[in-house]
């Protein structure tokens, strides 16, 4: 694949479709300097974006939490996504919607006078973790911790929250791992760099309480699937010392979908029946 800035196709920017290579921003764009940006990552299956409106609603909510009102309605965002998929001839794709403060009269921390811009892109994208979807991903344990909600709006899908994710994933890949698992500011198990995490023990499922992490839409979907199957789900604080007692583990996210985990640090997990059942069930659900 060519670099992401050098491809054929169309990108929606500020209300219109433009050629892919022309979708540019100025070097003094506020978001580039101060991370004033929120985004959504979504997947389109057979021409339909899964949970599309919920993603659009969350984008607007993220903008509100970041004091960055986005000048588009849910319906307008939905129309932009459809236009991009159609213009690029895509039925199965990853969709990225990003809203950000652009260049304007302000070039300091304050940027209230700078216009909030939005772009929508889409491209064909396979499994986020490659062959880990079959054999189970290997995770490092990040040295960084997810921050307290008293320090930043952790419920927002905001670009600034991903800075330590990039560093942690780079460190993990250098060790031969697919990703890294974070602890939160209190020392509890939190999430991976771009996915929520689930564990299985004695037929019941345990997942971190999302009070300092993003309550992912895929996470919510999978919890619903488990409860429909009569499986007990414990949303709670999980100590790192508990990892050795869990039998199975998986990650969830729009990009990650449902990906088994085979190892976190020195602890190993089987890619068991429940993991496979949920992964297969999710694959069917998104194509309904």
Q: How far apart are CA 25 and CA 212, in angstroms?
A: 32
Q: How far apart are CA 237 and CA 189, in angstroms?
A: 7
54 catalytic? Reply is: no
H-type helices in 130-204, by residue range?
132-135, 163-174
Calculate ∠ Cα 74-79-84, nearest 5°: 130
Catalytic residue (choose from 48, 157, 175, 227): 157
Pull the structure tokens for residue 188: 């509890």
Q: How far apart are CA 127 and CA 156, in angstroms?
A: 25
Q: Are 157 and 284 in contact (CB under 8 A)?
A: no
Taking residue 241's Cβ as centre, other Cβ atoms within 10 Å add up to 8
Q: Give the chain's radius of gyration (CA, Å).
A: 19
Q: How far apart are CA 80 and CA 75, in angstroms?
A: 9
Catalytic (active-site) positions: 157
């Amino acid at each position: 694949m060519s670099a992401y800035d050098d491809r054929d196709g169309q990108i929606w920017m500020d209300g219109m479709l433009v050629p892919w290579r022309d979708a540019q921003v100025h070097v003094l764009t506020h978001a580039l300097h101060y991370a004033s940006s929120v985004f959504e990552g979504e997947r389109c299956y057979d021409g339909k974006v899964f949970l599309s409106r919920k993603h659009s609603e969350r984008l607007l909510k993220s903008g509100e939490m970041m004091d960055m009102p986005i000048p588009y309605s849910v319906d307008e965002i939905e129309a932009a996504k459809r236009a991009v998929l159609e213009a690029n001839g895509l039925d199965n794709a990853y969709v990225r919607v990003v809203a950000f403060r652009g260049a304007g009269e302000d070039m300091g921390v304050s940027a209230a006078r700078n216009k909030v811009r939005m772009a929508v892109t889409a491209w064909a994208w396979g499994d986020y973790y490659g062959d880990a979807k079959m054999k189970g991903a290997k995770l490092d344990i990040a040295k960084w911790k997810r921050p307290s909600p008293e320090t930043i709006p952790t419920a927002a899908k905001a670009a600034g929250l991903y800075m330590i994710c990039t560093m942690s994933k780079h460190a993990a890949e250098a060790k031969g791992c697919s990703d890294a698992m974070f602890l939160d500011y209190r020392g509890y198990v939190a999430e991976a760099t771009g996915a929520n995490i689930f564990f299985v023990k004695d037929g019941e499922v345990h997942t971190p309480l999302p009070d300092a992490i993003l309550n992912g839409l895929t996470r919510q979907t999978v919890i619903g699937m488990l409860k429909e199957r009569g499986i007990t789900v414990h949303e709670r604080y999980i100590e790192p010392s508990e990892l050795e007692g869990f039998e199975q583990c998986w990650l969830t996210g729009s990009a990650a979908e449902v990906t088994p985990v085979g190892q976190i640090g020195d602890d190993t997990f089987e890619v068991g029946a429940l993991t496979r059942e949920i992964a297969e069930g999710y694959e069917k659900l998104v194509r309904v």
